[in-house]
Amino acid sequence: MLFETHTPATPPTADPLAATPTWMTVMDRAGRTCECTGACGSRHGRSGLRCDTRHGQYLKGHRGPVRLAVGQPDLTDREAAALPPADLRAWCPACWRGTDRRRRAARAALAAHRDTADTADTLF
Protein backbone atom coordinates (compact mmCIF):
# COMPACT_ATOMS: atom_id res chain seq x y z
CA MET A 1 0.00 0.00 0.00
CA LEU A 2 1.19 3.45 -0.79
CA PHE A 3 -0.61 5.14 2.10
CA GLU A 4 -0.67 2.98 5.16
CA THR A 5 -2.19 4.12 8.39
CA HIS A 6 0.36 4.50 11.13
CA THR A 7 -0.26 2.64 14.35
CA PRO A 8 2.01 3.06 17.35
CA ALA A 9 4.37 0.19 18.10
CA THR A 10 3.12 0.11 21.67
CA PRO A 11 -0.30 0.89 23.04
CA PRO A 12 -0.53 4.45 24.38
CA THR A 13 -0.89 3.31 27.98
CA ALA A 14 2.07 0.95 27.88
CA ASP A 15 4.17 0.97 31.02
CA PRO A 16 7.94 1.32 30.70
CA LEU A 17 10.00 -1.85 30.50
CA ALA A 18 11.51 -1.01 33.88
CA ALA A 19 8.17 -0.34 35.56
CA THR A 20 9.04 -0.99 39.16
CA PRO A 21 6.57 -1.37 42.02
CA THR A 22 7.50 2.19 43.04
CA TRP A 23 6.63 3.51 39.56
CA MET A 24 3.34 1.62 39.58
CA THR A 25 2.44 2.86 43.08
CA VAL A 26 3.09 6.50 42.17
CA MET A 27 1.24 6.23 38.85
CA ASP A 28 -1.77 4.57 40.47
CA ARG A 29 -1.89 7.25 43.17
CA ALA A 30 -1.60 10.02 40.56
CA GLY A 31 -4.21 8.49 38.30
CA ARG A 32 -1.54 8.33 35.58
CA THR A 33 -1.69 12.13 35.40
CA CYS A 34 1.15 14.61 35.92
CA GLU A 35 1.13 15.89 39.50
CA CYS A 36 2.69 19.30 38.81
CA THR A 37 0.77 22.11 40.48
CA GLY A 38 2.81 24.98 39.08
CA ALA A 39 6.42 24.25 40.01
CA CYS A 40 7.19 24.35 36.28
CA GLY A 41 6.05 27.96 35.98
CA SER A 42 2.66 27.22 34.46
CA ARG A 43 -0.51 27.97 36.38
CA HIS A 44 -2.25 25.04 34.67
CA GLY A 45 -5.34 27.24 34.59
CA ARG A 46 -7.36 25.00 32.28
CA SER A 47 -7.19 22.06 34.63
CA GLY A 48 -7.74 23.43 38.11
CA LEU A 49 -4.11 24.35 38.84
CA ARG A 50 -2.81 20.83 38.18
CA CYS A 51 -1.27 19.65 34.94
CA ASP A 52 -3.70 17.45 33.04
CA THR A 53 -1.17 15.57 30.90
CA ARG A 54 -1.81 11.84 31.11
CA HIS A 55 0.58 8.93 30.62
CA GLY A 56 0.18 7.66 27.06
CA GLN A 57 -1.63 10.78 25.84
CA TYR A 58 -0.82 12.17 22.39
CA LEU A 59 -0.11 15.90 22.42
CA LYS A 60 0.43 18.39 19.63
CA GLY A 61 4.14 18.76 18.92
CA HIS A 62 5.12 15.34 20.30
CA ARG A 63 6.18 12.50 18.05
CA GLY A 64 4.57 9.84 20.16
CA PRO A 65 2.69 9.30 23.35
CA VAL A 66 3.76 11.22 26.44
CA ARG A 67 5.53 9.09 29.02
CA LEU A 68 5.35 10.26 32.60
CA ALA A 69 8.36 9.87 34.87
CA VAL A 70 8.47 9.38 38.61
CA GLY A 71 10.83 11.43 40.72
CA GLN A 72 11.59 14.80 42.26
CA PRO A 73 13.29 17.36 39.99
CA ASP A 74 15.14 18.99 42.89
CA LEU A 75 16.91 15.75 43.79
CA THR A 76 19.48 13.61 42.02
CA ASP A 77 18.30 10.29 40.62
CA ARG A 78 20.18 8.51 43.41
CA GLU A 79 18.48 10.61 46.10
CA ALA A 80 15.05 10.14 44.53
CA ALA A 81 15.57 6.37 44.28
CA ALA A 82 16.05 6.23 48.05
CA LEU A 83 12.68 7.88 48.74
CA PRO A 84 9.47 5.98 49.47
CA PRO A 85 6.70 6.23 46.83
CA ALA A 86 4.73 8.65 49.03
CA ASP A 87 7.51 11.25 48.58
CA LEU A 88 7.71 10.91 44.79
CA ARG A 89 5.50 12.50 42.15
CA ALA A 90 4.51 11.77 38.56
CA TRP A 91 5.84 14.32 36.05
CA CYS A 92 5.23 14.91 32.36
CA PRO A 93 8.32 15.90 30.33
CA ALA A 94 7.23 19.53 29.92
CA CYS A 95 6.66 20.09 33.64
CA TRP A 96 9.88 18.27 34.55
CA ARG A 97 11.89 20.47 32.15
CA GLY A 98 10.15 23.64 33.37
CA THR A 99 10.77 22.79 37.02
CA ASP A 100 14.38 21.88 36.31
CA ARG A 101 14.89 25.11 34.33
CA ARG A 102 13.49 27.21 37.21
CA ARG A 103 15.64 25.34 39.74
CA ARG A 104 18.80 25.90 37.68
CA ALA A 105 17.96 29.59 37.24
CA ALA A 106 17.46 29.98 41.01
CA ARG A 107 20.82 28.30 41.68
CA ALA A 108 22.54 30.52 39.12
CA ALA A 109 21.01 33.65 40.66
CA LEU A 110 22.12 32.55 44.12
CA ALA A 111 25.65 31.88 42.86
CA ALA A 112 25.76 35.29 41.14
CA HIS A 113 24.56 36.95 44.34
CA ARG A 114 27.27 35.17 46.34
CA ASP A 115 29.93 36.22 43.82
CA THR A 116 28.74 39.82 44.01
CA ALA A 117 28.77 39.74 47.82
CA ASP A 118 32.30 38.26 47.82
CA THR A 119 33.54 40.95 45.42
CA ALA A 120 31.94 43.73 47.48
CA ASP A 121 33.69 42.48 50.63
CA THR A 122 37.10 42.58 48.96
CA LEU A 123 36.69 46.12 47.65
CA PHE A 124 36.76 47.75 51.09
In this predicted model, which residue has the larger pLDDT, 37 or 117? Answer: 37
pLDDT in the model for residue 10: 47
Residue 105 exposure: Cα atoms within 13 Å on the Cβ side: 8
Distance from C-alpha of 119 to C-alpha of 124, rounded to nearest angstrom? 9
Spacing of C-alpha 48 from chain mean position: 18
Most confident range (mean pLDDT) of 9-13, 72-76, 99-103, 117-121 is 99-103
**pLDDT tens column, 61-107:** 778 888 999 999 888 888 988 999 999 999 999 999 999 999 998 88
CB atoms near residue 35 (< 10 Å): 19
Distance from C-alpha of 40 to C-alpha of 101, rounded to nearest angstrom? 8
Contact 27, 68 (CB under 8 A): yes
